[in-house]
Amino acid sequence: MKTLIRSVKIVSKNSDLNGQVKDIFVENGNILHIENDIHLEADEVIEGKNICVSIGWFDLRVHPKEPGNEYKESFQSMEAAALAGGFSEIALLPNTKPVVQSRESVNYLKRAGEKVKFHPMAAVTLKCEGKDFTEMIDLHQAGAVAFTDGEHPIQNPDIFLKTLQYLSQFGGVLINRPEDSNLTHFGQMHDGIMSTFLGMKGMPQMAEEIMLMRDLKLLEYVLNTPFTELPVDKSILHFSGISSAESVNLIRMGKDIGLPITCDVYAHQLCFTENDLADFNTNFKVNPPFRTQEDLDALWEGLEDGTIDAIASDHNPQDEESKKLEFDMAEFGVIGLETLFAAINTFNEKISLEELIEKITVNPRKILQLPIPSIAVGEKANLTVFSEDEEWVYREKKIISASKNSPFIGKTLRGKAIRVIV
């Protein structure tokens, strides 16, 4: 297969080719030529007005529904949605049925992707129940890229502490979404003026911030434990789904004192506030919840100054029977693979395109300690071709995911993936 990409702007912050407009020729999965004007026969020619190319996009947090809940999303529809959104690789949470807690389940997920590379994350505790540990060394050797209980934040501090100590022995990464579930029990949305106005139980910011403070303190303890060996310049603890201004400040302070931590924010969290729930649209029911304008501004500032390392979709398909209900009965979660780039590109007013792309290409791979592709002659192709300027309407009938629970339905977005070449 020979593919020619004509007059494409290269977006790769650390490359000498960054910002240059070139022709790129790919044959049998290898980049053979990058030149000003290539005249070679190709099976496929990709061209367009003001198109760009970067290394393949990487999503740090996807909820697979297969095995167990294929009616919400199959591997096939998840992969198709990822390709439509511009992703060549995605990291999968372990909350399937059965939970990803064995070599067999890790290998099963690794083989499931055909055109998109699936990176399974394994459970910290058996069945993600927060009680007994999985065989993490065995899972790491099988190919698990990180360890997390995924949809279930680790509540037990002793489990959290011992996990950090255990993973530090082989350089594993712990991913946790900070939330004290005792403070969010029965919560439906952000605890604030709007939740009071709508008469719904709130989910306070302090539930996230208290847990984040706890986790940082436990990490400090591990670092001061004799004989603890940590990988140089690598994160051992990654916070997923930061949503409040104080959380951004806490992570910023943690990084300032040298803690080996990273964090991400979900794309939809960068686009909406609690006020968008005024009409009880269950497509806006997410966890962590949409918070205040002040929190939203702080998240963008955290992206701008490097406190927030990556942007993830938190793609969580829910069928109609889980979403088209009274608000307090509906499940949490939105789909996001198809809209991640378009959403952040549309709402972005602070960050350069190069910085934005780095948050969904280089940094996720660094966090998971995975190889980083490059756009260079002789390298294997791992590319996403996209338009920065194309405007389009996200219509429910054209959603590729098997589920349709998106807050962006009917909205005009700017920027669109054109093709993934791997």
Contacts of 309 (CB under 8 A, 6+ apart): 262, 263, 264, 359, 363, 366, 367
Based on the number of CB atoms within 10 Å of its own CB, is 196 exposed (0-12), middle (13-18) or buried (19 or more)?
exposed
Among 373, 383, 386, 401, residue whose Cα is nearest residue 341: 386
Among 383, 387, 312, residue whose Cα is nearest residue 48: 387
The three-state secondary structure class of 235 is coil
Q: Distance between CA 188 and CA 226 in Å, rounded?
A: 43
Identify whether 314 is a catalytic site residue: yes
Based on the number of CB atoms within 10 Å of its own CB, is 213 exposed (0-12), middle (13-18) or buried (19 or more)?
middle
Based on the number of CB atoms within 10 Å of its own CB, is 28 exposed (0-12), middle (13-18) or buried (19 or more)?
exposed
Residue of 279, 297, 314, 319 marked catalytic: 314
188 forms beta bridges with none
Query: What H or E segment, with its residue span, contains residue 345?
Result: helix 340-347
Spacing of C-alpha 380 from chain mean position: 24
Contacts of 397 (CB under 8 A, 6+ apart): none
**Extended strands (E) in 200-246:** 202-203, 237-239
Q: Distance between CA 57 and CA 395 in Å, rounded?
A: 23
Contacts of 316 (CB under 8 A, 6+ apart): 63, 332, 333, 334, 335, 336, 405
Q: Distance between CA 156 and CA 131 in Å, rounded?
A: 8
CB 138 within 8 A of CB 103: yes
> HSE-up of 234 (CA within 13 Å, CB side)?
19
Would you please indicate which residues are annotated as catalytic (active-site) residues?
314
